[in-house]
Amino acid sequence: MKIIIVGCGQVGEALAAELGGTGNSITVVDLSASKIASITSRLDVMGVVGNGATHTTLKEAGISNADLLIAVTESDELNLLCCTIAKRHAKCKVIARIQNPEYSSEAEYLKDELGLAMVINPEYAAAEEIARVLRFPAANKIETFSKGRVELIEFKLPEDSSLVGMSVWEVISKLKCDILVCAIERGDEAYIANGDFIFEGKDVISIIASQKKAADFFKKIGYTNQSIKSAMIIGATEMSHYLCTVLQKSGISLKVLDKDLSVCEDFSTKHQRVTVIHGEETDQELMIEEGAESVDAFISLTDNDEQNIFLSLFAKSKSDGKIITKIDKIDYDRIIKHLDFDTTVYPKAVTSDMITRYVRSLKHTVGSDVETMYSIVKGKVEATEFVIKPDASIIGVPLSSIKFKDDVLVAAILRKGTLIIPRGNDTIQADDSVVIVSKILGLKDISAAIK
């Protein structure tokens, strides 16, 4: 596909790297010549310096022959204008990143009126991710397949866990849990699970299961999974606004702390059932006075990554509650993973993953369509959901008879709303949703996972 990406910030750069690495022809557009030079020197992409909201620049970037334009600048208005011009002068599909809550409430209207293929709000998407984790605090991260019927749950194994020293097969057979261990991250290494894999303390484990079966598994391994009843949020940001909107429906008692009085007043007006506190966001005595030591969840959502890291370290030293940290700089991932935080949310990575998933679904496939895609271990392991077409060659063949490539695992089969944790004798049928976990990145079709 021929794709134009307008905006070379972290999201644009991540998209150029991911989409360019899967056989697409990428052109990046930005006003900054230095950003264009930096990206084109490191990635196999073309670059155009200019305003992506002008027909002249888009024409130079090849809009007349493009299949897709993705506008991910820091300006919502510029993104919408880019898409409008692209739709007016070309037949390509367009995607706009929208961050302003006022525009987000009009997302469906904008999508219909401007002919947008997607409207993505990274702050709202990240808030939803946080809300999922708060519903199941034992997890570090939760993603969903098949419209929420199946969950991909990531959790960290304590060094004193009863699972340490046991193999995957022993865990499944002894606990008799209908779950599937699909991937393990250990230090800088990532593994696709097999029955002989031995667990060690501090392993980051990903399992696939239904919500009910996952709860049963965590109960059997001794994880307390009490529901969240109170949360303290630091920073009255846009993400905090979305998160409070979602969490208030769950009856969670919420406190929000921010240093800006006018922001506090505005936030309090919008969220009358939320306790809004005016004060310095790094004031430890104030946070303790307001209950930071006793809340069930402590969530750092300021617009400063370094401050969020400091706040989470403070909370970790004072509280046994769930600690959630928002980080904007994707490159900080290598540092954060060594700080032993509970859950870290990267809004820009969420945006990049959503767009990448959509692009893959557009590509012509032989036996299946990409429905959902998640990065389990960034740059190393992916989980991809395929919907099987009637002409797929693997239909009716027992899984044990299919020669899958190395580091490929069939993790789940969804058939008419029912989850099947696959075993060797199971078969795949037409219209099934099949989740593949693999170290082969960028799978466009389930046949690409077969030798």
Rounded to two decimals, the pTM is 0.84
- Please, are residues 85 and 55 in contact by the beta-carbon 8 Å criterion? yes
Output the pLDDT for position 358: 83
Residue 303 DSSP one-character state: S
Q: Which fold has domain 139-220?
A: Alpha-Beta Plaits (3.30.70)
List the beta strands (DSSP E) in 342-392. Answer: 343-345, 368-377, 381-388
pLDDT the model gives residue 88 = 86
Are the folds of 230-350 and 360-449 the same?
no
CATH number for the domain formed by residue range(s) 360-449: 3.30.70.1450
- Backbone φ and ψ for 431, nearest 5 degrees, come out as 75, 0
The pLDDT value recorded for residue 351 is: 84
What's the confidence (pLDDT) of residue 193?
87
The pLDDT tens digits for 274-317 are 999 999 999 999 999 999 999 999 999 999 999 999 999 999 99
SS3 95: strand
Parallel, antiparallel, or unpaired for β 297-300 and 322-326? Answer: parallel
CATH of 2-120, one of 3.30.300.30, 3.40.190.10, 3.40.50.2000, 3.40.50.720: 3.40.50.720
pLDDT at 364: 54
CATH fold group of domain 230-350: Rossmann fold (3.40.50)
Instruction: Identify the three-state secondary structure at position 13.
Output: helix
Other Cβ atoms less than 10 A from the Cβ of 440: the count is 15
**Two tokens at 225?**
């999974």
Spell out the per-residue pLDDT of the chain, length 451, in tens: 899 999 998 889 988 988 887 778 999 999 999 999 999 999 999 999 999 999 999 999 999 999 999 999 999 999 999 999 999 888 899 999 988 877 777 778 888 888 888 888 888 989 999 999 998 888 888 888 877 788 899 999 988 888 999 999 998 888 888 899 999 999 889 999 888 999 999 899 999 998 888 888 988 888 766 789 999 999 999 999 999 999 988 889 999 999 999 999 999 999 999 999 999 999 999 999 999 999 999 999 999 999 999 999 999 999 889 999 999 887 777 777 777 788 999 888 888 888 887 887 776 555 557 777 888 887 789 888 888 988 888 999 999 999 999 999 999 999 988 899 898 899 999 999 999 999 988 787 888 889 8
Position 363 scores a pLDDT of: 65
The pLDDT value given to residue 426: 92
Please report, for residues 8, 121, 156, 224, 444, the alpha-carbon distance to residue 92 in angstroms, rounded to integers and kept in the order given. 20, 21, 43, 50, 21
HEC string of 391-431? Answer: CCCCECCEHHHCCECCCEEEEEEEECCEEECCCCCCEECCC
| pLDDT for the residue numbered 367 | 59
C-alpha distance from residue 42 to each of 13, 24, 35, 116 (Å): 10, 16, 11, 30
Domain-wise residue ranges, the chain? 2-120, 139-220, 230-350, 360-449
